[in-house]
Amino acid sequence: MQTVGTAEQAGLDLVLSEVVGAVRSVDPESVAAAADLIEGGRRVFLFGQGRSGIALRSLAMRLMHLGLAVHVVGDATAPAIGAGDVLVVASGSGTTGSVVRAASVAAGQGADVVAITTAADSPVGRAAARAIVVEAAAKTDHGGTVSAQYSGSLFEQAVMLLGDAVFHTLWQRSGSAAEELWTRHANIE
């Protein structure tokens, strides 16, 4: 069995430092504006690929705990998107084909799009009514200049935390007690 040493501590410190920097790089107004769109939406849809999609599924769960009508794009029970709905997408590069198509379709149907990305002027960023821009490496940035972590790890970590920040903003606005949200927590586990 190996003992934990300075290399492991350095890894923990690196991840923590980079995540703090990435989340602090986000304009708080963009988080508030995204929360406004979600709060005012008829229904909320979420979509991303890979680890970004997994992070958005976590946000979907928390929005459901708030009592919002929430759907994960691609699930068998997700209905058609339309006017008055909101689509939240995440793509580090802003060029992920399926995410770009989803944002385009949603906007074409009259839905508002919230995009979490590293590139505001990417196809996903341009399709969005509101973009949350994160200073993090996209998955194909292997130069280590933005992040020493592998691939898009920093972006994906930031998506998870930004989702929690949006949720927390909405929860505080709602005035609901934690006990009220708990009644919507899964009880078949």
Between 189 and 158, the higher pLDDT residue: 158
Span 165-178, average pLDDT: 97
* In-domain check, residue 165: yes
* In-domain check, residue 36: yes
**What was the pLDDT predicted at 5?**
77
Q: What is the pLDDT of residues 9-42, one digit of tens each?
A: 899 999 999 999 999 999 999 999 999 999 999 9
Helix H or strand E segment including 74: none
Give 80's DSSP letter: -
* In-domain check, residue 66: yes
* In-domain check, residue 78: yes
Q: Is the dihedral of CA 106, 140, 51, 117 positive or negative?
A: negative
**What was the pLDDT predicted at 136?**
93
Q: Would strands 44-48 and 112-117 be described as parallel, antiparallel, or unpaired?
A: unpaired
**What was the pLDDT predicted at 24?**
97
Per-residue CA distances from 76 to 72, 79, 80, 120, 137 (Å): 9, 8, 11, 31, 32
Has residue 142 got a pLDDT over 80? no
Band the pLDDT of 179: cuts 50, 70, 90. Answer: very high
Active site residue 156: yes
> Which residue type is seen at 166?
V
Has residue 2 got a pLDDT over 90? no
Radius of gyration of the chain (CA): 17
Out of 156, 179, 180, 189, the active site residue is 156
Q: Is the dihedral of CA 137, 139, 141, 143 positive or negative?
A: positive
**What was the pLDDT predicted at 34?**
97
**What was the pLDDT predicted at 141?**
73
Span 170-184, average pLDDT: 97
The enclosing domain of 102 has a CATH number of 3.40.50.10490
* In-domain check, residue 187: no
Range of the domain at 103: 9-178
Q: ∠146-148-154 over CA atoms, to 5°?
A: 70
Low-confidence winner among 1-10, 27-36, 56-65, 163-172 (lowest mean pLDDT): 1-10
Q: How many domains does the chain have?
A: 1
Has residue 187 got a pLDDT over 90? yes
* In-domain check, residue 80: yes
Give the global pTM.
Answer: 0.94
Span 123-137, average pLDDT: 95
125 CB-contact burial (10 Å; exposed 0-12 / middle 13-18 / buried 19+): buried
* In-domain check, residue 4: no
